[in-house]
Structures are given as structure tokens and as C-alpha cells.
Amino acid sequence: MAGDVLSFALLAISSVIIIINPLGATLLYVSLTTSLEPNARDTIAKDACRFALMILLLVAVLGAWILQIFGISLEAFRIGGGILLFGIGMEMIYAKTSRTKLTATEKYESRDTDDVAIMPLAIPMIAGPGAITTTIVMMNEAIVISPLAIAVLFLSIGLSIGITYYMMRHSDYIMKRVGQREYRAINRLMGMLLIAIAVQFVITGIRTAFPLLGGGT
């Protein structure tokens, strides 16, 4: 049991951090707040991370119930989510901003509104479809393992949001140290890891939905 929790913890922490992508969120935060006063920028960073945390925790608690309402099996959601994460990972490898996180229209319109903390920072940049999918899938796995695994998932979400908030608060220092070349290199590495996680999601979903394919009876 301890080994299962440890394996789950490593997968949960890496999955959530990679899909939230604190560095990518920080770069967008910088581009949207360069003309604002430091106090206003700090408020936006705090609000964006707070709203994203609330959304992901709410999804973690109610995700399975939402799937039941729409008659969607966990296996179908796991396979569909794996395909979604695979696409995001491919875009990360090619150093593109994921279309599931932020569209050009959303980025343009966000400059004309005061509430950039919610849109597009909290949604869909931090708590986007990929993060929501990962949270639901990981929560259903945690329920099967143990209550400790559930606590680990909550900790993973909080840790990821905390890293994002820290990087936003220290974005000026980070931007002096991280150039576009370094960002693309980090993004591609994270994209490869995300693709591997996505493929595992699909494999697990197919094996569960079709036991005969996995050698079951």
C-alpha cells in the first residue's frame, strides 16, 4: 500500500505541475501586466492563483459526480483526457501556446478588461481543460488507493498553484534569468513528459474498458 501511495504521489505531483505549467503562466502574466503598478500586479497574481485553486479543488471533489450526471464512464474520460493531454504535449514540444489554454482572441480581449486574473489567467491558463482532466482522473485513482492518496492529490494541486504564485510574484527576477531559448527547452522537456503521461492514461483506460486486451478474462 505504501508503494502504491508513493507511486501515485510521484505521478500526481509531476502531472499537475507539468499541465499547469507555472513558467508558461508566468510569461503570460508578465505580458498582461507590464503596464500596471506593482500593487495591482500582486493583486492579479494572488486572485488568479486563488481562483484556479478553488476551481481545481472543486473539480477534484465533484468531478466523479459530474461524470455520473452526464453518463460518462471514467474509462472514456481517461482515454479522451489522454488524447487531450497528448495534443497539449505535442504543442509544448513545438513551443506553441496550447489552443486549449489560450486563444489569440482571449489574449487580445484580456488587455481591455480589468479582471485578467480570472480570464485568461485563472481560466484557461492555469486551471484549463488539461488541468481539470488530470485532476478528475487522478482523484478517481486516489479514491481506489487510499485516503492518503486523496490528501496527496490535494497537496499536489496546492503545491503547483503555490509554485505558480511564487513565480508570478518574482516574475521580474525570473524574466531576467530565463530567455526564450531556455523557456522553449524547458517547455519541450515538459511536453515529452506530458506525452508519456497521456499515453499511460490511454493505455490504462483501454485496459480497464476492454480487459481482454490486457490479458484479462
Q: Where are the domains of the chain?
A: 2-210
Share of the chain above pLDDT 90, in %: 34
Would you call 21 helix, strand, or coil by DSSP? coil
* Residue 150 pLDDT > 90: yes
Cis peptide before 38, with omega less than 30 degrees from 0?
Answer: no
Confidence of residue 204 (pLDDT cuts 50, 70, 90): confident
Q: Whole-prediction pTM value?
A: 0.76
Three cell numbers written together for 80: 479522451
**CATH annotation of 2-210:** 1.20.1250
Report the pLDDT averaged over residues 67-94. Answer: 83
Specify whether the CB–CB gap between 24 and 187 falls below 8 A. Answer: yes
Share of the chain above pLDDT 70, in %: 87
* Distance in Å from the first CA to the final CA of the chain: 25
Q: Please give the Cα distance from 133 to 67 (Å, whole number).
A: 11
Residue identified by cell 507539468 is 18
Q: Please give the Cα distance from 204 to 164 (Å, whole number).
A: 29
Amino acid found at 74: L
101-149 tens-digit pLDDT: 555 445 444 444 447 888 878 887 899 888 998 999 999 999 999 999 9
Specify whether the CB–CB gap between 40 and 33 falls below 8 A. Answer: yes
